[in-house]
């Protein structure tokens, strides 16, 4: 199954929130706003079971999360990717490798999380190589912001982990600062508060690209406190 085989199930003028064939479409703007209630991860249109749910934001072409889903069939994996051209590549991997435990959300991460994801419902969260928006004037566009970390802390189960990976030193320091000042999140890495290797973590397009260019990869891991 090729990525081009996935067609958006609505026209531009009829944009809507819909779940179809392992993809949950969440347009940032709907032509006609409609009420929508997420049916739950155990609904037949999603996973159809109550296994733990793992999120990856900024999934790109899905190489990392598809490999994880294949290695861990007892877990439910959710790829969140804003760009449809990338979401369809993840869908293609689901089809070609029969990954029934992998599901795609085609939508903006903060919007989806804030509107539809329940408190204490996600076991672990990953974010691999998000756009660092390196210029100071563009820093407001970074996904890692106080409000987004509030949402991560809200949806994570107690003791759940948030793992952030980047090649960009500035974004690394930014993330350490933003997440560490949240009362419900603690840094699991000793000073300098990140690791340069994480055994068995897996790889992706950007991981390979930046390593080939001689860049150092920084792994950050935070845990949600069990009490407020």
Closest CA to 80 of 152, 12, 159: 152
- Catalytic residue numbers? 131
Would you tell me how many other CB atoms lie within 10 Å of the CB of residue 66?
Answer: 24
Q: Tell me the average pLDDT of the chain.
A: 92
Task: Read off the pLDDT of each residue in 137-146 and give the average, rounded to a whole number.
Answer: 92
pLDDT tier for residue 199 given thresholds of 50, 70 and 90: confident
pLDDT tier for residue 227 given thresholds of 50, 70 and 90: very low
Task: Please check the confidence at residue 94 and state whether its pLDDT lies above 90.
Answer: yes
- Do the Cβ atoms of 192 and 48 come closer than 8 Å? no
Please tell me the distance from the alpha carbon of residue 46 to that of residue 36, in angstroms, as a whole number: 15
pLDDT tier for residue 38 given thresholds of 50, 70 and 90: very high
Task: Please check the confidence at residue 110 and state whether its pLDDT lies above 70.
Answer: yes
Q: Which domain holds residue 127?
A: 3-224
**Residues facing residue 207 across a β-bridge:** none
Task: Read off the pLDDT of each residue in 57-71 and give the average, rounded to a whole number.
Answer: 96
- Do the Cβ atoms of 122 and 93 come closer than 8 Å? no
How far is residue 132 CA from its own chain's centroid? 15
Please tell me the distance from the alpha carbon of residue 153 to that of residue 122, in angstroms, as a whole number: 10
pLDDT tier for residue 70 given thresholds of 50, 70 and 90: very high
Cα angle, residue 81 at apex, residues 78 and 82 outer, rounded to 5°: 145
Q: What is the pLDDT of residue 228?
A: 46
| pLDDT one-digit tens code per residue, 142-191 | 999 999 999 999 999 999 999 999 999 999 999 999 998 998 999 999 89
Task: Read off the pLDDT of each residue in 96-119 and give the average, rounded to a whole number.
Answer: 96
pTM of the predicted model, to two decimals? 0.93
**Domain total in the chain:** 1
Q: What is the pLDDT of residue 161?
A: 97
| pLDDT one-digit tens code per residue, 8-30 | 998 888 889 999 999 999 998 77
Please tell me the distance from the alpha carbon of residue 197 to that of residue 136, in angstroms, as a whole number: 28
Would you tell me how many other CB atoms lie within 10 Å of the CB of residue 166?
Answer: 25
Between 212 and 91, residue with greater pLDDT: 91
pLDDT tier for residue 210 given thresholds of 50, 70 and 90: confident
Flag the least confident range among 24-28, 94-98, 222-226.
222-226
Question: Residue 94 maps to which CATH number?
Answer: 3.40.50.150
DSSP string, the chain: --GGG---SS-GGG---EEETTEEEE-SS-SS--------TTSTTTTSS---EEEEES-TTSHHHHHHHHH-TTSEEEEEES-HHHHHHHHHHHHHTT-TTEEEEEE-HHHHHHHHPPTT-EEEEEEES-----SGGGGGG-S--HHHHHHHHHHEEEEEEEEEEES-HHHHHHHHHHHHTSTTEEE-SPTTT-BS--TT----HHHHHHHHTTPPPEEEEEEE-S--
Percent of residues, the chain, with pLDDT higher than 90: 76
Please tell me the distance from the alpha carbon of residue 176 to that of residue 178, in angstroms, as a whole number: 6
């Amino acid at each position: 199954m090729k990525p081009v085989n996935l067609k958006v199930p609505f026209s531009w003028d009829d944009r809507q929130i819909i779940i179809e064939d392992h993809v949950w479409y969440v347009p940032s703007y709907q032509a006609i706003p409609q009420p929508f209630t997420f049916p739950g991860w155990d609904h037949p249109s999603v996973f159809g079971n109550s296994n733990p749910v793992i999120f990856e934001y900024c999934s790109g072409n899905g190489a990392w999360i598809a490999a994880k889903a294949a290695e861990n069939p007892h877990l439910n994996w959710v790829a969140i990717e804003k760009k449809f051209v990338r979401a369809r590549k993840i869908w293609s991997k689901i089809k070609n490798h029969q990954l029934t435990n992998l599901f795609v959300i085609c939508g903006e991460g903060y919007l989806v999380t804030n509107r539809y994801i329940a408190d204490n419902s996600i076991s672990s969260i990953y974010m691999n190589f998000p756009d660092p928006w390196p210029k100071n004037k563009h820093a407001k566009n970074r996904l890692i912001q106080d409000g987004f970390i509030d949402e991560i802390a809200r949806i994570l189960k107690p003791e759940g982990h948030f793992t952030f990976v980047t090649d960009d030193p500035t974004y690394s320091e930014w993330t350490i600062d933003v997440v560490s000042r949240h009362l419900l999140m603690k840094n699991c890495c000793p000073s300098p508060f990140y690791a340069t290797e994480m055994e068995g973590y897996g790889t992706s397009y950007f991981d390979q690209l930046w390593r080939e260019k001689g860049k150092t990869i920084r792994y950050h891991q935070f845990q949600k406190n069990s009490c407020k």
